[in-house]
């Protein structure tokens, strides 16, 4: 963040006081930039541009003393009390129409304030680059008959010429040469001659080179809902009818049929002539999910990260034109420019992927909530394991709760048994699958069932350690243990992707037999193949799923039974609905438990509950075996009983004692720099300024740090962090603003 030069520095013309009078005013545009200085700055708008410039358009404006021409975003147009000569003028306008609606502009303004990001940066996060650059749009020539076409004109035409003209008269719409060629089968020079003789007249428009024709077959009818689903849907309909901002937490256990409720709520919204946005975690946007929505709702637009700029732009235009009833996508789909928003659904609302980890660091749930306020619509947050933030809001009464505590057809939840790894005699050859789990795997496959094994760590060995001196092979840039990958025989840093051949000797004591400790999915795969050679299996993690479509291929093979055992990271924990999965094994439930993160217990509870929910979804009962070294941990005990309420109650008390969200707000300031001492000094200075600001403003705010964070070195830069805890986000916001205007940041430090 940088406060940047103030407007005064950039505008060198000073107005003598006698030139300013009460009448001096002019039209001005407020312009922001994605690069520093971010603005907003005012620019005068002169007459030809006054008629066309609207907020949400891109402009060219002169910037700085050199007056170089740069692209900026117009966020406001108004009459200002300023002498026209005191402002530089907008040079040109780049768009024919605004790139976004006034609602979206207000949403951006809020994001800019709340997440402390410049409006220019927010603009670029909200409006995709394909839209900003009008990707795929070309100048197209459209033909139509001249307006004073007479019967005599037609009589002079050849049969083919006549065919073209008749077609255009019938459809009554101008068409491109390509469209006409396709519709009539007549060659291009026929049309050219018609144009030369003046029978057809042309007009150029800017449009997509290829028209996007959405395909949609006949829609499938809705399912008959069970009692819980009916009640939940009724509650949602009442909220939608109120045309006010309302949030409903749909707390439905795994397999309770939440998706069917979303779909019927959306059908209701469409009948009212409104549109819906559905946010899903990216990994659960499988082709099956897509197909399910497509078959029921028809005109949907699916947004995802693999789309080209042209595709994104095309979808954006379809959505803005109101051609689409439902938009489905990951967190950024919350910015979809639907004209009449009636409903927002966040499926798996607890998922961390709804939080963006780059600037602007927004959470889609909070953005959804603000957008719902602007457009007075309903939000559904769905989850079997709601975030404690949302749960607390249902307790406070800020959200309504709709509970679906039973599975479809009253299928029982699976039995969960805990395997205490401390009591298991795990021989080195046996590896990481205990005897009870191994027996259950064999039995399940013998019974013609399928198995899912979860291990939330990729790679082969998670540490390369010297057995003599104990030192671990680390990444030189991040100070983190390198993971050994057998594919490609390399040691990899999972943060910065630094890769080397596995070190043959210890870099500290030169001992030449390094040990490979800790198990990742690759080693687990090897173990499964060795111990159960007759069981067909596949591994699913981000290493095996690099190619587009590989996800689908494995899931299809699992669905049709070719693969009996699927093992992988959290990728396999969520959303999958395979009725024949009778056993889920959690190989190590503790992977996330000891993270220095106040949400560690919550994440563990969610992961174990979600993966447990993958079994027993068919007619046969499922079994879950959870291997752990911490069987008495509340998160693991509660997950084994499918008991969200007990977990939430205990965890909320714990968080209240420590002042963690939802009981307060937390801001984390991260400092980065190449020189360790200089960075520490800067972090300290920052902290002292904050302490002073706290005293001056007279607010309550606790500071933890500055200290080295869990990743003290990342991508070659040292890091320090400071945690700030306060009762309200506004307090943190105010302090951060205060300090950011006071602090002078050296060039080689970022925060």
Site residues (vs Zn ion, CB under 5 A): 475, 477-478, 493, 495-496, 498
In the complex, minimum distance from the CB of residue 288 to ligand ADP, in angstroms, rounded to a whole number: 10
Cα distance from N-terminal residue to C-terminal residue, the chain: 7
Residues forming a β-bridge with 720: 671
Instruction: Work out which of 252, 431, 634, 673 binds ligand ADP, going by CB under 6 A.
Output: 252
The span from the CA of 379 to the CA of 244, in Å, is 10
In the complex, minimum distance from the CB of residue 490 to Zn ion, in angstroms, rounded to a whole number: 13
Instruction: Work out which of 121, 229, 591, 687 binds ligand ADP, going by CB under 6 A.
Output: 229
What, of Zn ion, ligand ADP, none, does residue 256 touch, CB below 5 to 8 Å by kind? ligand ADP
Residue 135: half-sphere exposure toward Cβ, Cα within 13 Å: 16
- Choose between 252 and 706: whose C-beta lies nearer to ligand ADP: 252
In the complex, minimum distance from the CB of residue 409 to Zn ion, in angstroms, rounded to a whole number: 49
260 part of the interface to ligand ADP, by CB under 6 A: yes
- What lies within 8 Å, CB to CB, of 555 at 6+ separation is 286, 288, 576
The span from the CA of 329 to the CA of 555, in Å, is 20
The token pair that represents 284 in the structure block: 């659960």
- Choose between 294 and 314: whose C-beta lies nearer to ligand ADP: 294
Neighbours of 2 (CB within 10 A): 11
- Choose between 269 and 384: whose C-beta lies nearer to ligand ADP: 384
226 part of the interface to ligand ADP, by CB under 6 A: yes
What, of Zn ion, ligand ADP, none, does residue 175 touch, CB below 5 to 8 Å by kind? none
Stretch that binds ligand ADP, among 224-232, 654-662, 695-703, 716-724 (CB under 6 A): 224-232
The span from the CA of 611 to the CA of 556, in Å, is 19
- Residue length, the chain? 751
255 part of the interface to ligand ADP, by CB under 6 A: yes
Closest by CA position to 256, among listed 231, 286, 287, 222: 231
- Choose between 159 and 224: whose C-beta lies nearer to ligand ADP: 224
Task: Please report which residue ranges of 134-226 form alpha helices under DSSP H.
Answer: 151-155, 159-171, 177-184, 188-196
Instruction: Work out which of 161, 254, 294, 519 binds ligand ADP, going by CB under 6 A.
Output: 254
In the complex, minimum distance from the CB of residue 225 to ligand ADP, in angstroms, rounded to a whole number: 5
Instruction: Work out which of 259, 289, 474, 609 binds ligand ADP, going by CB under 6 A.
Output: 259
The token pair that represents 35 in the structure block: 């690069």
- Choose between 304 and 477: whose C-beta lies nearer to Zn ion: 477
Task: Name residues contacting ligand ADP, limited to 387-416 (CB under 6 A).
Answer: 408
What, of ligand ADP, Zn ion, none, does residue 511 touch, CB below 5 to 8 Å by kind? none
Residue 630: half-sphere exposure toward Cβ, Cα within 13 Å: 16
Q: Are 295 and 217 contacting, i.e. CB atoms less than 8 angstroms apart?
A: yes
DSSP codes, 613-647:
TTSS-SSSPPEEEEEES-TT-HHHHHHHTT-HHHH
Closest by CA position to 87, among listed 52, 44, 53, 151: 44
Stretch that binds ligand ADP, among 35-43, 206-214, 250-258, 325-333 (CB under 6 A): 250-258
Closest by CA position to 256, among listed 717, 536, 644, 721: 644
- Choose between 273 and 561: whose C-beta lies nearer to ligand ADP: 561
The token pair that represents 379 in the structure block: 């939000």
223 part of the interface to ligand ADP, by CB under 6 A: yes
82 part of the interface to ligand ADP, by CB under 6 A: no
If you ran DSSP here, which 8-state letter would residue 398 be given? S
Stretch that binds ligand ADP, among 255-263, 477-485, 593-601, 642-650 (CB under 6 A): 255-263
Alpha-carbon distance values, 88 to 324, 534, 556 (Å)? 41, 76, 61
- What lies within 8 Å, CB to CB, of 673 at 6+ separation is 679, 682, 717, 718, 746, 748, 749, 750
Say how many residues touch ligand ADP, by CB under 6 A. Answer: 15
In the complex, minimum distance from the CB of residue 543 to Zn ion, in angstroms, rounded to a whole number: 17
- Choose between 406 and 458: whose C-beta lies nearer to ligand ADP: 406
In the complex, minimum distance from the CB of residue 502 to Zn ion, in angstroms, rounded to a whole number: 16
What, of ligand ADP, Zn ion, none, does residue 257 touch, CB below 5 to 8 Å by kind? ligand ADP
Give the footprint of ligand ADP on this chain (CB under 6 A). 223-226, 229, 252, 254-260, 408, 577
């Amino acid at each position: 963040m940088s406060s940047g030069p103030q407007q005064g520095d950039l505008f060198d013309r000073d107005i003598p006081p006698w030139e300013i009078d009460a009448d001096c005013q002019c039209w001005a545009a407020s312009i922001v930039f994605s690069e520093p200085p971010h603005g907003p700055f005012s620019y005068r708008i002169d007459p030809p541009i006054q008629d066309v410039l609207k907020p949400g358009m891109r402009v060219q404006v002169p910037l700085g003393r050199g007056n170089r021409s740069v692209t900026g975003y117009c966020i406001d147009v108004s009459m200002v009390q300023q002498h026209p000569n005191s402002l530089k003028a907008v040079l040109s306008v780049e768009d024919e129409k605004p790139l976004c609606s006034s609602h979206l502009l207000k949403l951006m303004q809020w994001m800019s304030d709340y997440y402390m990001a410049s409006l220019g940066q927010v603009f670029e996060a909200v409006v995709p680059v394909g839209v900003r650059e009008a990707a795929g749009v070309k100048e197209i020539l459209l033909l139509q008959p001249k307006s004073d076409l007479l019967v005599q004109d037609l009589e002079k035409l050849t049969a083919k010429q006549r065919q073209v003209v008749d077609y255009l008269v019938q459809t009554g719409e101008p068409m491109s040469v390509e469209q006409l060629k396709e519709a009539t089968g007549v060659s291009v020079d026929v049309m050219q001659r018609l144009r030369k003789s003046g029978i057809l007249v042309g007009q150029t428009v800017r449009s997509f080179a290829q028209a996007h024709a959405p395909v949609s077959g006949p829609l499938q009818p809705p399912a008959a809902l069970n009692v819980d689903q009916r009640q939940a849907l009724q509650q949602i309909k009442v909220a939608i009818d109120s045309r006010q901002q309302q949030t409903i937490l749909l707390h439905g256990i795994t397999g309770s049929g939440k998706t069917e409720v979303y779909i019927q709520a959306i059908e209701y919204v469409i009948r009212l002539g409104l549109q819906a946005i559905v946010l899903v975690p990216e990994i659960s946007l499988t082709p099956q999910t897509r197909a399910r929505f497509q078959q029921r709702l028809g005109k949907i637009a699916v947004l995802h990260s693999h789309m080209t700029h042209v595709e994104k732009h095309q979808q954006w235009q379809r959505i803005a034109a109101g051609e689409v009833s439902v938009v489905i996508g990951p967190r950024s789909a919350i910015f979809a420019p639907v004209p009449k928003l009636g409903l927002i659904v966040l499926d798996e609302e607890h998922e961390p992927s709804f939080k963006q980890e780059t600037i602007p660091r927004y959470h889609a749930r909070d953005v959804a909530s603000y957008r719902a306020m602007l457009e007075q619509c309903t939000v559904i947050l769905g989850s079997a394991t709601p975030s404690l933030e949302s749960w607390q809001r249902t307790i406070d009464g800020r959200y309504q709760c709709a509970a679906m505590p039973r599975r479809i057809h009253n299928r029982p939840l699976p039995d969960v048994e805990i395997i205490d790894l401390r009591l298991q005699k795990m021989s080195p050859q046996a590896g990481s699958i205990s005897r009870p789990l191994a027996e259950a795997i064999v039995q399940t496959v013998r019974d013609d069932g399928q198995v899912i094994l979860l291990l939330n760590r990729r790679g082969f060995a998670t540490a390369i350690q010297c057995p003599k001196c104990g030192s671990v092979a680390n990444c030189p840039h991040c100070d983190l243990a390198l993971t050994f990958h057998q594919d490609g025989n390399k040691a990899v840093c999972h943060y910065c992707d630094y890769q080397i051949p596995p070190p043959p000797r210890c870099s500290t004591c030169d001992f030449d037999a390094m040990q490979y400790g800790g198990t990742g999915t690759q080693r687990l795969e090897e173990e499964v193949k060795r111990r159960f050679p007759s069981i067909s299996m596949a591994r699913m993690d981000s290493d095996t799923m690099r190619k587009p479509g590989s996800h689908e291929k494995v899931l299809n093979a699992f669905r049709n039974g070719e693969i009996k055992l699927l093992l992988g990271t959290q990728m396999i924990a969520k959303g999958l609905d395979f009725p024949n999965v009778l056993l889920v094994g959690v190989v190590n439930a503790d992977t996330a438990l000891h993270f220095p993160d106040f949400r560690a217990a919550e994440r563990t509870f969610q992961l174990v509950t979600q993966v447990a929910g993958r079994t027993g979804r068919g007619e046969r009962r499922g079994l879950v075996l959870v291997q752990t070294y911490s069987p008495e941990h509340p998160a693991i005990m509660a997950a084994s009983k499918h008991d969200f309420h007990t977990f939430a109650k205990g965890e909320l008390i714990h968080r209240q004692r420590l002042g963690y969200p939802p009981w307060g707000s937390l801001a984390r300031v991260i400092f980065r720099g190449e020189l360790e001492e200089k960075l520490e000094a800067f972090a300290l200075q920052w902290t002292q300024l904050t302490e002073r600001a706290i005293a001056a403003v007279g607010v309550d705010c606790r500071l933890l740090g500055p200290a080295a964070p869990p990743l003290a070195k990342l991508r070659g830069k040292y890091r320090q962090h400071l945690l700030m805890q306060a009762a309200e986000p506004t307090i943190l916001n105010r302090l951060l603003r205060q300090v950011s205007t006071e602090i002078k940041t050296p060039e080689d430090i970022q925060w």
